[in-house]
């Protein structure tokens, strides 16, 4: 019996143009980890789930050598540096993973690109659209791979949903709703709350609902945002309403003051797709059709899901691609510009803002 899911084609990635020297497929891609914070820890745990023939965690750097050595000992990393520059200049590192706070991404991505290294950079790639465009131009002029670590785009089930919607089998998207929030109980100096480190719910959490909407609806024609700000001037609680030329609307929320639902739904003329808590790295979705029937779509992830973005980087580097078709750089820049516009509406400014 045919179902919505079984009618979909395999999840192959259409290779992009091979324009750079490709890495050999008969040895692992050697990763250099720049910073040793929370996400760097999660990322290397995911790398460790991948075949050693594909991935090697070659080196790690921290601001203090002791932190790097401690991280290296826990995660079995061969080389530890107390200086980010030494990491990017290590000839035994093929690709650099940047895991510092957003406000430092530009400096650290440039450090790696100037050393001739491809980069996977944590989200948000920068604080502003202009800075994101600068990084994309720099990588392009050097013929080097660059990708924002927007792992949601690489999650198999999210890609399946794209296939299902593109197939037209359930009509076009009319309403999309997505939320990501968690109560942040940290000191004001924490990167999530400190404006000098790019603090705020939008760039940390809101980026996921906004990316999700962009994946299935493209560029909005109108964006209206409202937020409550902290005394330091970062957004704590955020709501964004968007409309599209197609007639669709999206309602997106993010929070650092609430244990919010962290769910998403997509409503078309013929079906309601519901993603449970953790919508930004889902393994299941429920599709309820207009005849009342329900189907559960399931796609497992490797590790906690971060492994899929790493696999995509490995695929691109081995194919000589400087941009992933799953995480297109023009969309990364467009979304940063959309978040610039949202910040203007809610009154959040960073030192990196140019006007």
| Selected binder of ligand NAP within 104, 109, 158, 339 (CB under 6 A) | 104
Binding-residue pattern over the window 268 to 287 for ligand NAP, x denoting contact by CB under 6 A: --------------------
In contact, 109 and 146? CB cutoff 8 Å: yes
Segment lying near ligand NAP (by CB under 6 A), choices 36-44, 235-243, 282-290, 340-348? 36-44
The answer to whether the Cα torsion of 340, 329, 62, 74 is positive or negative is: positive
Binding-residue pattern over the window 146 to 185 for ligand NAP, x denoting contact by CB under 6 A: ---x-x----------------------------------
Least CB distance to ligand NAP at residue 5 (A): 26
Least CB distance to ligand NAP at residue 75 (A): 13
- Burial label, 302 (beta-carbon count in 10 A; 0-12, 13-18, 19+): middle
Least CB distance to ligand NAP at residue 158 (A): 14
Q: Does 186 bind ligand NAP (CB under 6 A)?
A: no
| Selected binder of ligand NAP within 99, 109, 193, 301 (CB under 6 A) | 99
Q: Does 38 bind ligand NAP (CB under 6 A)?
A: yes
Phi first, then psi: give them for residue 263, nearest 5 degrees. Answer: -110, 175
Segment lying near ligand NAP (by CB under 6 A), choices 4-12, 95-103, 254-262, 284-292? 95-103
Position of minimal CB gap to ligand NAP: 37
The catalytic position among 30, 105, 106, 123 is 123
Kind of pairing between the strands at 173-181 and 249-255: parallel
Closer by beta carbon to ligand NAP, 61 or else 271: 61
113-144 burial code (b ≥16 CB/10 A, e <16) = bebebbbbbbbbbbbbbbbbbbbbebbeebeb
In contact, 81 and 68? CB cutoff 8 Å: yes
Q: Which among 135, 129, 198 is positioned nearest to 340, based on CA atoms? A: 129
The angle formed by the CA atoms of residues 238, 121 and 158, to the nearest 5 degrees, is 65
With CB under 6 A as the rule, give the number of residues binding ligand NAP: 21
Least CB distance to ligand NAP at residue 321 (A): 21
- Quote the distance between the C-alpha of residue 25 and its chain's center: 25
Q: Which among 86, 82, 122 is positioned nearest to 105, based on CA atoms? A: 122
Least CB distance to ligand NAP at residue 33 (A): 9
| Selected binder of ligand NAP within 123, 153, 177, 343 (CB under 6 A) | 123
| Selected binder of ligand NAP within 46, 79, 100, 268 (CB under 6 A) | 100
Closer by beta carbon to ligand NAP, 184 or else 272: 184
Segment lying near ligand NAP (by CB under 6 A), choices 35-43, 47-55, 217-225, 242-250? 35-43
318-336 burial code (b ≥16 CB/10 A, e <16) = bbbbbbbebbebebbbbbb
**Annotation says 123 is catalytic:** yes
Both tokens of 130, joined, read 């202009």
Phi first, then psi: give them for residue 236, nearest 5 degrees. Answer: -100, -35
Cα–Cα distance between 313 and 321 in angstroms, integer? 9
Least CB distance to ligand NAP at residue 122 (A): 4
Closer by beta carbon to ligand NAP, 8 or else 119: 119
The angle formed by the CA atoms of residues 96, 102 and 104, to the nearest 5 degrees, is 70
| Selected binder of ligand NAP within 46, 72, 95, 102 (CB under 6 A) | 102
Least CB distance to ligand NAP at residue 111 (A): 12
Cα–Cα distance between 179 and 206 in angstroms, integer? 8
Catalytic residues: 123
Residues lying near ligand NAP in the complex (CB under 6 A): 35-40, 62-63, 67, 99-102, 104, 122-123, 149, 151, 191, 197, 204
């Amino acid at each position: 019996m045919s179902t919505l899911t079984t009618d979909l084609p395999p999840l192959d990635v259409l290779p992009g143009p091979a324009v750079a020297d490709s890495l050999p497929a008969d040895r692992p891609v050697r990763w250099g980890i720049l910073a040793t914070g929370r996400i760097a820890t999660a990322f290397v745990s995911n790398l460790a789930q991948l075949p050693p023939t594909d991935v090697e965690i070659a080196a790690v750097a921290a601001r203090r050598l002791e932190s790097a050595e401690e991280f290296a000992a826990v995660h079995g990393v061969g080389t530890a540096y107390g200086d980010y520059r030494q990491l990017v200049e290590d000839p035994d590192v093929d690709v650099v993973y940047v895991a510092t706070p957003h406000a430092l991404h530009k400096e650290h991505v440039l450090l790696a690109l100037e050393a001739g290294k491809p980069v996977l950079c944590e989200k948000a790639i920068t604080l502003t659209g202009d800075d994101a465009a600068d990084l994309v131009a720099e990588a392009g002029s050097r013929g080097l791979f660059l990708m924002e670590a927007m792992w949601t785009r690489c999650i198999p089930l999210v890609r399946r949903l794209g296939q299902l919607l593109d197939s037209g089998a359930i009509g076009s998207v009319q309403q999309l709703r997505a939320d990501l929030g968690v109560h942040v109980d940290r000191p004001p100096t924490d990167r999530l709350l400190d404006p000098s480190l790019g603090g705020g719910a939008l760039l940390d959490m809101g980026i996921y609902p906004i990316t999700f909407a962009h994946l299935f609806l493209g560029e909005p024609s109108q964006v209206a945002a409202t937020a409550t700000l902290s005394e330091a001037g970062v957004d704590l609680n955020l709501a964004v309403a968007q409309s599209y030329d197609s007639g669709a609307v999206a309602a997106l929320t993010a929070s650092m003051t609430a244990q919010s639902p962290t769910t998403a739904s997509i409503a078309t003329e013929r079906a309601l797709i519901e993603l449970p808590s953790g919508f930004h790295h889902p393994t299941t979705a429920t599709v309820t059709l207009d005849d009342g029937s329900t189907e559960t779509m399931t796609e497992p992830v490797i590790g906690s899901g971060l492994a899929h973005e790493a696999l995509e980087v490995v695929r691109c580097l081995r194919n000589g691609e400087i941009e992933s078709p799953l995480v297109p750089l023009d969309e990364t820049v467009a979304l940063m510009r959309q978040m610039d516009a949202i910040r203007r509406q809610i009154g959040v400014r960073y030192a990196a803002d140019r006007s």
